Amino acid sequence: MAPSMALAIHPTFKVLLVLVWLTWLGRGMGGTIAPAMADPSLMPPQQPALTLLPVVTGGLQQPVYLAQAPGDADRFFVLEQPGRIRILLRGTLLDAPFLNIAAGIRFNGEQGLLGLAFHPSYPTNGRYFITYVRESDGAIVIAEYRASDDPNVSRRAEKTLLVVPQPYPNHKGGMLEFGPDVLLYIALGDGGAGGDPQNRGQNRGELLGKILRIDVDRGSPYTIPPGNPFARSGARPEIFAYGFRNPWRFSFDRHTGELWVADVGQDKWEEIDVVRAGGNYGWRIMEGRHCFIPRQGCPTTGLIPPVAEYRNDGSRCAVIGGYVYRGTKIPALQGIYLFGDYCSGEVFGLRNGLQSVLLSAGRQISSFGQDRDGELYVLGLKGTIDRIVEARP
């Protein structure tokens, strides 16, 4: 199968050594990864020198996401892919999970507990939302949970919002987050195999290969926002945008509200999309800015190209979406979209269509995370959390 978003530990130490070596090589080469559109005046006047500050070095099993809850400066909530939400309380990893639903979760490869979003009114309503692949049949589940009176322990009662059957074990997507419109956005992959064999990304009659948007404050378990682009068209009304392969991570720019989606590529091209309502982002007609089916002369009318792409050659294999930096501690990073590659461990910066390597993390990057202040974190699949900080000479 073509490269996908393999969230599995590499099978042999030899492969790991090669990866480490390639990462080291990449560090030495550095520089721009997409030479096109080169107007140097668009580049940041001085690229910030970045490094990683360890936050957690052990005690986590396959962390795949990190978030803070509104109104809570003390805690980081960390998703463990096998099915637990752990708490990092003022720098200390608590032994007892906030939530442990591992028994009901299918944990294998790209499957597991994949997404977490706190309701903007979490301090008063305690509501939060997760995405996971369930043990019984491999379907992906969007579910709501609630905090208890103990801020370190969740209630266990589940309210199911959506169950989406999955034809294959890969390409789950799984990110979910509230937009500035207080609507819940959910990313679903094309359902897997390779090359989207049933053309789900382009089929607006189903939910796979889409970004969804639902209103969890009205209706039960949710309602369709009246502004959804296909609310009255016969397509699935939850769809916000379509034509995605495996949108594993997305984020909203805190200043502009723009929705930045990283879509993991198939054979050659990893892409970054800025997504708007009703947009068709091309898969499987196109992979990045290139025809996929058919390989030449594909119909591109109406397809929205990515704002950036890079080739998944030897050391690079899968894009990991990050955040437009809106923190205060690294002024030179302001407004730059940070993202990474799962295999190479590189962290890239993107602004005005120009990308460059900002940092080599030297690990498998499973996700980025953002704290309340807008500072950014790198999660390593093998159990690490590091904060991105400015390197001091």
Q: Which residues bind Ca ion (CB under 5 A)?
A: 281-282
Q: Which residues contact 142 (CB under 8 A, 6 or more apart)?
A: 129, 130, 131, 160, 161, 162, 163, 164, 176, 186
Q: Which is nearer to Ca ion, 174 or 282 (CB)?
A: 282
CB 249, min distance to Ca ion, A? 15
Cα of first residue to Cα of last residue in the chain, in angstroms, is 45
| Alpha carbon distances (Å) from 141 to 8, 210, 235, 245 | 21, 15, 21, 18
Nearer of residues 282 and 345 to Ca ion, judged by Cβ? 282
Could you tell me the smallest distance in angstroms from the CB atom of residue 275 to Ca ion?
Answer: 10
Kindly report whether the peptide bond that precedes residue 11 is cis, defined as omega within 30 degrees of 0. Answer: no
Whole-number minimum distance, CB 211 to Ca ion, in Å?
12
Nearer to Ca ion, 80 or 309 (CB): 309
Nearer to Ca ion, 27 or 289 (CB): 289
Q: Which is nearer to Ca ion, 66 or 317 (CB)?
A: 317
- Report the residue number whose CB is nearest to Ca ion: 282
Tokens of 350: 């993107």
Nearest distance, CB of residue 302 and Ca ion, angstroms: 12
Q: Are 207 and 216 in contact (CB under 8 A)?
A: no
Report the run of H or E that residue 67 belongs to, with start and end.
Answer: strand 63-67
Residue 259 C-beta: closest distance to Ca ion, Å = 14
184-188 and 210-214 beta bridge pairing: antiparallel
